[in-house]
């Protein structure tokens, strides 16, 4: 004992201090965020007198001032009867009428999924097929569907959106992206004289939809305002045959361990389980045809990556398809006789993503069984770059004002997706 | 608050001096000593008895720490540089100051932190991206496991897509060490290069965190671990 000195002697005197302070718990825990000065101060502990039951502590409450030696009085909490609107606090979450114990994982229009399309495929129980379906591709190649002077008119549309319609030298993406999509749709609508059934459609912007479904004991919800929706009076015909649909039973959905499928989804306990297409009953154009998603953020950090944009398109298309299926065929989980088809186009003004979803089943709780199908055509450039100001080197115009690297294929696909559902009807009526 | 302490202690002083000691016998007999009070000057050696007071106090500057966020997040947080100044506003450490503006990314130094208390035990995480951190010499890696994402210090050959294991289990056999995994020291074989070491389990890594740092694990004598 006499040989020990310093910390060793202290350790022998107080054996609890050195080493672990109590059965494996560390002496000081890991760093806790927030400095002590910004944390709420703890209330002072009540006097020891209050721990003795049956004893009435003598406090200085009657004296109206502090007295050393007397106990600190404990007053009942005072309810003033009213609160100033400035200081009103919302009631605790547990008292909200829509509070539920089971959490719901919500996807909204600003959710960026970590795993992108893979995660969206798992959440919607879908099988991915690269490239557009054959029926749509046949519409692309058919020269009867092309507009006269198509390339020239599309180039004019691009120049109008990117340069002419605004007074600024270089218009921002928030201005030119919606203009380019509106103009392309207007160009497609010019075909109404050739295909009269195109008139049985309407475009709606700023609509909110909501759909809820269960996936392996996880409650998922898609809600929010997404872009514009083209609705039609008649539904789109199914694209895959019954054999292809039944062949999806053997397909195994890709998992991404150790990441859980609910990563980047908003977990909330206050939610309403409902299916809302966004339109009331008796709407003359009930069937969703195409959803258009615009990515208008200016800086690259705020813009969605192409993978995240495709995941968002898939989830919103699935949401509207599921809501429509439940409206037509009821809320039971079953394989649909007549699959629901919804298309989707996403763009940031230059690069286009095309998506066609066929909803084959509403039985989403288990991983086995028939899966839904999605055809995705990703990263289709409409033009490589647009020069708003001419590039002049040594007094020679190297790059003139206008788009460079124009690809007409992209607009043909856009037109084909627009005409899908209307051209077939005409053929039937012709025959 | 300092001023209040000062005034409270000054208030205990009385204005009138206490009664001095009775004057000693005068050398002149018969002479009447009048106005004793005026002749008595307190000498320097006699101190007036009074309560202890402090006449000076350190003035604290209007310093509020920027570390006010209590909830963990992976988004970079705005920070204020100290310039070597402490809470009084004076320079505590010289040579610090200036430099590019930085945003702080909250790093989780406690590697073995299960997402839910209900699922204890070793778990795996996937590295999403390894990037530069302006606040330290080492690079940081965004890892995701379960449904949460966090930043950790990246090891030398860590790349996006790697799977790393966080474990608190010590078996009879030493674990085959892989780069990026976190194990208790007792589970690692002698001679592994380690970094981000904590002094006790649950404390969080405090040692060997800088770039290029690495220590050789030497278990020459057995130590009791959790």
Q: How many CB atoms lie within 10 A of CB A306?
A: 17
Both tokens of residue A359? 């909803």
The residues, any chain, with a CB within 8 Å of residue A410's CB and separated by 6 or more, are A352, A380, A381, A382
Sequential DSSP letters for B172-196: SSPP---TT-B--GGGSPTT-EE-S
The pLDDT value given to residue B6: 59
Split at pLDDT 50, 70, 90, the class of A267 is: very high
Nearest to B176 by CA among B192, B164, B163: B192
Split at pLDDT 50, 70, 90, the class of B219 is: low
Interface test with A, best of B200, B209, B226 (most A CBs within 10 A): B200
Which pTM does this prediction carry?
Answer: 0.81
Q: Which residues of A touch B186 (CB under 8 A)?
A: none
The pLDDT value given to residue A317: 95
Both tokens of residue A428? 């039937």
B65 and A260 in contact by Cβ < 8 A?
no
**B162 φ/ψ angles, rounded to the nearest 5 degrees:** -70, 150
The pLDDT value given to residue B15: 55
Residue of B nearest to A31 (CA): B204
Mean pLDDT across the stretch A293-301? 93
Q: Helix or strand or coil: residue B208? A: coil
Mean pLDDT across the stretch A90-117? 93
CA distance, residue A118 to nearest chain B CA (Å): 15
> Looking at residue B29, what DSSP letter applies?
T
Split at pLDDT 50, 70, 90, the class of A33 is: confident
* CB-CB contact of A268 with A104 (8 Å): yes
Q: Helix or strand or coil: residue B9? A: helix
Report the alpha-carbon distance of residue A245 to residue A360 in Å, rounded: 7
Q: How distant is the alpha carbon of residue A264 from its chain centre?
A: 9
The pLDDT value given to residue A405: 94
Report the alpha-carbon distance of residue B54 to residue B200 in Å, rounded: 43
Among B64, B72, B202, select the one facing A26 at the smallest CB separation: B202
pLDDT tens-digit profile of B76-91? 999 999 999 988 888 9
A39 and B70 in contact by Cβ < 8 A?
yes
A49 pLDDT exceeds 60? yes
In chain A, the percentage of residues whose pLDDT exceeds 70 is 92
**A266 φ/ψ angles, rounded to the nearest 5 degrees:** -85, 120
A406 pLDDT exceeds 80? yes
∠B102-B104-B108 over CA atoms, to 5°?
155
Average the pLDDT over each of A12-16, A295-299, A407-411, B8-12 and give the range with the smallest value: A12-16
Query: Which residue(s) pair with A402 in the sheet?
Result: A387
In chain B, the percentage of residues whose pLDDT exceeds 70 is 74
* CB-CB contact of B131 with B116 (8 Å): no
Q: Which residues of B touch A116 (CB under 8 A)?
A: none
Which H/E stretch holds residue B2? helix B2-11
Nearest to A107 by CA among A19, A225, A222: A222
A35 and B65 in contact by Cβ < 8 A?
yes
Nearest to B164 by CA among B147, B153, B210: B153
The pLDDT value given to residue B26: 47
Three-state secondary structure readout of chain A: CCCCCCHHHHHHHCCCCCCCCCCCCCCCCCCCCCCCCCCCCCCCCCCHHHHCCCCCCCECCCCCCCCCCCECCCCCCCCCCCCCHHHCCCCCHHHCCCEEEEEEEEECCCCCCCCCHHHHHHHHCEEEEECCCHHHHHHHHCHHHCCCCHHHHHHHHHHHHHHHCCCCCCCCHHHHHHHHHHHHHHHHHHHHHCCHHHHCEEEECCCEEEEEEEECCEEEEEEEECCEEEEECCCCCCCCCHHHHHHHHHCCCCCCCCECCCCCCEEEEECCCCCECCCCCCCCCCEEEEEEEECCCCCCCCCCCHHHHHHHHHHHHHHHHHHHHHHHHCCCCCEEEEEEEEEEEEECCCEEEEEEEEEEECCCCCCCCCCEEEEEEEEEECCCEEECCCEEECCEEEECCEEECCCHHHHHHHHHHHHCCCHHHHHHHHC
Nearest to A221 by CA among A257, A287, A293, A270: A270
> Looking at residue B197, what DSSP letter applies?
B
pLDDT tens-digit profile of B155-203? 989 999 999 999 999 999 999 989 999 999 999 999 889 999 999 888 9
Spatial strand order of the sheet with A287-294 comes to A126-130, A372-381, A351-361, A335-347, A287-294, A228-232, A201-204
Nearest to A311 by CA among A167, A84, A122, A37: A122
* CB-CB contact of B9 with B3 (8 Å): no
**B81 φ/ψ angles, rounded to the nearest 5 degrees:** -80, 150
Report the alpha-carbon distance of residue A248 to residue A200 in Å, rounded: 33
Mean pLDDT across the stretch A288-293? 95
Among A26, A257, A267, select the one facing B200 at the smallest CB separation: A26
Residue B110 buriedness (CB in 10 A; 0-12 / 13-18 / 19+): buried
The pLDDT value given to residue B226: 21
The pLDDT value given to residue B211: 84
pLDDT tens-digit profile of A199-236? 999 999 988 999 999 999 999 999 988 789 999 999 99
Among B145, B149, B204, select the one facing A258 at the smallest CB separation: B145
Residue of B nearest to A264 (CA): B147
* CB-CB contact of A262 with A103 (8 Å): no
Among A26, A38, A256, select the one facing B203 at the smallest CB separation: A26
Nearest to B205 by CA among B197, B194, B213, B216: B197
Both tokens of residue A126? 């879908």
């Amino acid at each position: 004992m006499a040989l020990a000195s310093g910390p060793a002697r202290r350790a022998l005197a107080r054996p609890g201090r050195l080493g672990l302070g109590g059965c494996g718990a560390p002496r000081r825990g890991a760093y806790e965020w927030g400095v002590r000065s910004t944390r709420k101060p703890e209330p002072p502990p009540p006097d020891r007198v209050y721990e003795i039951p049956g004893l009435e502590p003598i406090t200085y409450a009657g004296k109206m001032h502090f007295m050393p030696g007397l106990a600190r009085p404990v007053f009942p909490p005072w309810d003033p009867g009213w609160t100033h609107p400035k200081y009103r606090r919302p009631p605790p979450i547990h008292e909200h009428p829509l509070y539920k114990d089971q959490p719901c994982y919500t996807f909204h229009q600003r959710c960026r999924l970590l795993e992108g399309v893979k995660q969206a495929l798992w959440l919607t129980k879908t099988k991915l097929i690269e490239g557009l379906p054959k029926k749509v591709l046949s519409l692309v190649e058919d020269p009867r569907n092309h507009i006269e002077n198509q390339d020239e008119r599309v180039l004019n549309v691009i120049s109008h959106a990117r340069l002419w319609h605004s007074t600024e030298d270089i218009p921002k993406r928030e201005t030119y992206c919606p203009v380019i999509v509106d103009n392309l749709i207007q160009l497609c609508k010019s075909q109404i004289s050739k295909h009269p059934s195109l008139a049985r459609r309407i475009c709606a912007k700023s609509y909110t939809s909501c759909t809820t479904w269960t996936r392996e004991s996880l409650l998922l919800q898609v809600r929010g305002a997404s872009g514009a929706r083209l609705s039609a009076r008649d539904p789109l015909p199914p694209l895959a045959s019954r054999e292809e649909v039944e062949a999806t039973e053997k397909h195994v959905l890709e998992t991404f361990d150790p990441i859980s499928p609910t990563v980047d989804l908003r977990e909330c306990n206050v939610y309403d389980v409902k299916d809302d297409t966004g339109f009331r009953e008796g709407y003359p154009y009930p069937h969703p045809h195409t959803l258009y998603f615009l990515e208008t953020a200016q800086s690259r950090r705020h813009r969605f990556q192409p993978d995240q944009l495709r995941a968002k398109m898939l989830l919103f298309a699935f949401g509207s398809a599921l809501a429509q299926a439940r409206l037509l065929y009821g809320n039971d989980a079953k394989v649909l006789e007549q699959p629901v088809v919804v298309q989707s186009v996403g763009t940031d003004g230059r690069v286009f993503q095309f998506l066609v979803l066929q909803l084959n089943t509403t039985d989403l709780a288990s991983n086995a069984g028939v899966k839904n199908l999605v055809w995705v055509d990703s990263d289709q450039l409409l033009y490589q770059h647009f020069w708003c100001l001419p590039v002049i080197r040594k007094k020679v115009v190297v790059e003139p004002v206008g788009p460079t690297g124009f690809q007409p294929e992209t607009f043909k696909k856009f037109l084909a997706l627009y005409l899908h559902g209307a051209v077939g009807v005409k053929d039937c009526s012709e025959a | 608050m300092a001023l209040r302490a000062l005034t409270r202690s000054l208030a205990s002083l009385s204005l009138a001096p206490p009664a001095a000691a009775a004057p000693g016998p005068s050398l002149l007999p018969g002479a009447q000593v009048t106005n004793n009070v005026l002749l008595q000057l307190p000498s320097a050696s006699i101190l007036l008895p009074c309560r202890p007071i402090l006449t000076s106090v350190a003035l604290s500057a209007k310093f509020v720490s920027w570390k006010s966020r209590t909830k963990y997040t992976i988004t970079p947080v705005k920070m204020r540089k100290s310039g070597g100044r402490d809470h009084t506003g004076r320079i505590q450490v010289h040579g610090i100051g200036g430099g590019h503006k930085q945003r702080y990314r909250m790093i989780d130094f406690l590697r073995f932190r299960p997402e839910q208390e209900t699922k204890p035990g070793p778990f795996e995480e996937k590295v999403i991206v390894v990037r530069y951190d302006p606040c330290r010499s080492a690079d940081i890696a965004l890892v995701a496991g379960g449904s949460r994402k966090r930043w950790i210090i990246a090891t030398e050959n860590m790349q996006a897509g790697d799977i790393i294991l966080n474990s608190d289990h010590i078996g009879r056999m030493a674990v085959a060490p892989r780069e990026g995994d976190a194990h208790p020291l007792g589970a690692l074989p002698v001679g592994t290069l380690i970094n981000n070491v904590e002094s006790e389990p649950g404390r969080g890594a405090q040692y060997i965190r800088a770039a290029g740092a690495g220590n050789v694990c030497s278990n020459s004598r057995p130590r009791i671990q959790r």
